[in-house]
Amino acid sequence: MSASMEAVRRLMDLRHRGRAEDLPQVLAVAAPLLDAESAIVLLVDYGQLALHPLRGGTGVPLDVEGTEAGLAFTTAQPRWADGRLWLPLLHGAERLGVLQIERKNQEIGDLEIIAALVAELIASRRFYGDAVEHTRRRMPMQLAAEIVWNQLPPLTFAVDGTMVTAVLEPCYEVGGDAFDYAANGDTLHVALFDTVGHGMSASALTTLTLNTYRNARRSGLSLLDTCRSIDKWIRAQYPGAFVTALLAELDMATGLYRRISAGHPAELFLRDGRALPPLPTPNGLPLGLGHMLPRPPRVIEEQLRPGDTLVLYTDGITEARDAAGTLFGVDRLGDFLLRDLGAGIPAPEIMRRLVQAIVSYEEGELRDDATAAMLQWRRH
């Protein structure tokens, strides 16, 4: 058995027994088998500002901005400098952090396979203990945010060239915003929700909304009937409350995009370096208030072209204000996105940069939850 295969075998043992916090010790033993002095897991924090050693391991935190480790994370490409190799830890398209390896030999060889296995182990073992959460949290998380984060899918997903990636801020306090997606056959379901209120009451309403959406989707309901189902349950359980939402479906084979805007801002529609006119919005009342109109919401259809980008967002993005009270606004949002898309920056990194720009614009103190999701379509 080759040395690298022995390292794989030792790591694979964690799939059947072991915790995420056992990974640093296993990597320390496996490092010599990889012709390395050390192998250290660095995970990105919730704010995506720095990379931190997995609890139980050695190493020092490294900033995402201005470091080789950060470049490996933001570009999802290996980086080498001063006897250290940083390999991105990717679970599918989801960026978890980087694997830092100290070695004299610059050949990557089987190390990308090792990094892929480490990422899979982190993703699969994280639910059997709190080591990953302890590593990623840089301050206490409010209970409302804890509840919402536990409801959400991974921030990034890709299949056959189509990608959806999202961000939420303030990550330790969010309670009223949420997103969801699911790929079933050729259909990609995407939804963005903005719940009225803040704190625990908003978190509870968000939880009901997300799970009603999933129940309707998994029951095979149409987009219109899904909207009706959520509206009915919100009205029954939280009379007078409401949730604005974009509920969408994308046929990944043909590019046909269908959606309902329930009192929500229109998504940005970007094509060939420019913003196209927004789709009609709203075409329904916020969820929970649908009974106030006699007619049902209208489903809007749009035929996408390969390479088109749609950006769904809550008003916390565009209504962010600087010290002078000037809104961030839709135009500034569009300019920001088009600039980064034109520069070839990967979609997950654009979303990370966007939320940092919003936080900076409001001088570190967000007045409202700010959530956005980018959907890119490529024909498969």
pLDDT in tens, 22-69: 999 999 999 998 889 999 999 999 999 999 999 988 889 999 999 999
Measure the CA angle with vertex 379, ends 221 and 374; round to 5°: 65
Q: Which CATH superfamily is domain 143-376 in?
A: PPM-type phosphatase domain (3.60.40.10)
pTM of the model: 0.93
Widest Cα–Cα separation across the chain: 71
Question: How much is the pLDDT for 380?
Answer: 65
C-alpha span between 359 and 365 (Å, rounded): 7
Question: How much is the pLDDT for 185?
Answer: 95
C-alpha span between 101 and 260 (Å, rounded): 48
The domain spans of the chain are 3-136, 143-376
Q: Which CATH superfamily is domain 3-136 in?
A: GAF domain (3.30.450.40)
Read off the tokens for 87.
């390999």
Percentage above 90 pLDDT, the chain: 78
pLDDT in tens, 226-280: 999 999 999 999 999 999 999 999 999 999 999 999 999 999 999 999 999 999 9
pLDDT in tens, 85-103: 999 999 999 999 999 999 9
C-alpha span between 188 and 251 (Å, rounded): 7
Q: Which amino acid is at 338?
A: L
- On the question of a common fold for 3-136 and 143-376, the answer reads no
pLDDT in tens, 303-340: 999 999 999 999 999 999 998 999 999 999 999 999 99
Percentage above 70 pLDDT, the chain: 99
Of residues 192, 134, 171, the one with CA closest to residue 314: 192
